[in-house]
């Protein structure tokens, strides 16, 4: 049985009208926006940073970094020591530190600016870390390069950058072969000797001055006694001569 063109057209329209919306193709979903930068998640994904992650969390530095990276445009560079780096420390080193010293140790691995791998050759030393004062004896961190090797020294630790873990233009994370030990915590310098007190010297001068003053009246009194003695002798002589003339 042949169908007329009208019948075929009608059948096509009815088929389209009765088709369910679920059978129509849907547009591809847009990719989800990237989440906030989280240092500990980056390190967890990279692996072999378990101890450093634990220190970041227990000291509260992880929360500080989260806020800095997601609430400002400030860059951050982190030198992350691997688990094997911590195993090379003396037994009990971490447990011997106070809470404040543990915070300083972790912050010493953080530079409050973004440093790309190409910037290491032109960087200015000493670098200031988030631990604070970069002066000698406190928290100095110096970086030098030799070919493709990046050397780091803290005055206590000498190590190298062994690889790049993460970089996005705001955050850079590099793996280091040793834990960076700051001088302030692990090699504190003795305080400079206090200058000699000036008060004692001044007092001595005053005493010397008083001695001079005391001597002057004594000298004057002695002179007066000498003059008085001469006058007495002259007077006795005059009286003796007068009496001699009188009896003659």
d(CA 248, CA 245): 5
Evaluate if residue 110 carries a pLDDT over 50. yes
Evaluate if residue 125 carries a pLDDT over 80. yes
Positive/negative CA dihedral, 68, 69, 72, 75: positive
Evaluate if residue 23 carries a pLDDT over 50. no
Range 225-230 average pLDDT: 53
- Of the given ranges (11-15, 131-135, 171-175), which has the lowest mean pLDDT? 11-15
Percentage above 70 pLDDT, the chain? 59
Tokens of 187: 């090699």
Per-residue CA distances from 179 to 8, 31, 69, 146, 235 (Å): 80, 39, 23, 21, 102
The answer to whether residues 176 and 159 touch, using CB atoms and an 8 Å cutoff, is: yes
SS3 content of the chain, % helix, strand, coil (to 5): 50, 15, 35
Reported as a pLDDT band with limits 50, 70 and 90, residue 134 is low
Range 67-72 average pLDDT: 90
Evaluate if residue 90 carries a pLDDT over 80. yes
Range 122-135 average pLDDT: 84
d(CA 241, CA 168): 124
The H-assigned helical ranges of the chain are 5-18, 39-46, 50-59, 61-71, 83-87, 99-107, 183-186, 198-247
* DSSP 3-state of 146: strand
For the entire predicted model, the pTM comes to 0.63
Q: Angle formed by the axes of helices 39-46 and 61-71, to 10°?
A: 110
- Of the given ranges (53-57, 141-145, 197-201, 219-223), which has the lowest mean pLDDT? 219-223
d(CA 77, CA 167): 9
Residue with tokens 């998640």: 41
Tokens of 122: 């032109």
Look at residues 76, 40, 75 and name the one whose alpha carbon lies nearest to residue 55.
40
d(CA 243, CA 148): 122
Range 165-169 average pLDDT: 94
The answer to whether residues 100 and 60 touch, using CB atoms and an 8 Å cutoff, is: no
pLDDT at 20: 46
Evaluate if residue 25 carries a pLDDT over 50. no
The answer to whether residues 46 and 166 touch, using CB atoms and an 8 Å cutoff, is: yes
Of 127 and 15, more confident: 127
For residue range 176-226, list pLDDT tens digits in order.
999 999 988 887 665 556 666 766 555 555 555 555 455 555 454 545 455
């Amino acid at each position: 049985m042949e169908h007329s063109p009208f019948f075929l057209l009608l059948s096509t329209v009815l088929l389209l009208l009765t088709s369910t919306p679920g059978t129509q193709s849907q547009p591809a979903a847009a990719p989800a926006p990237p989440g906030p930068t989280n240092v500990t998640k980056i390190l967890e994904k990279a692996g072999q940073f378990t101890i450093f992650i634990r220190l970041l969390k227990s000291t509260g530095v992880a929360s500080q970094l989260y806020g800095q990276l997601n609430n400002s445009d400030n860059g951050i560079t982190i030198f992350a020591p691997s688990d094997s780096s911590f195993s090379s420390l003396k037994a009990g080193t971490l447990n011997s530190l106070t809470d404040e010293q543990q915070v300083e140790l972790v912050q010493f691995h953080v530079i409050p600016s973004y440093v790309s791998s190409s910037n290491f050759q032109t960087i200015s030393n000493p670098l200031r870390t988030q631990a604070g004062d970069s002066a000698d004896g406190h928290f100095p961190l110096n970086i030098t390069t030799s070919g493709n090797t990046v050397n780091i020294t803290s005055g206590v630790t000498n190590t190298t950058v062994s690889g790049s873990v993460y970089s996005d233009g705001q955050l850079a994370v590099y793996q280091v072969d040793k834990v960076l030990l700051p001088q302030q915590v692990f090699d504190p310098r003795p305080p400079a000797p206090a200058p000699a007190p000036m008060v004692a010297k001044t007092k001595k001068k005053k005493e010397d001055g008083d001695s001079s003053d005391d001597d002057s009246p004594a000298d004057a009194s002695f002179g007066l006694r000498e003059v008085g003695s001469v006058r007495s002798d002259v007077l006795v002589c005059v009286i003796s001569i007068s009496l001699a003339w009188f009896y003659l």
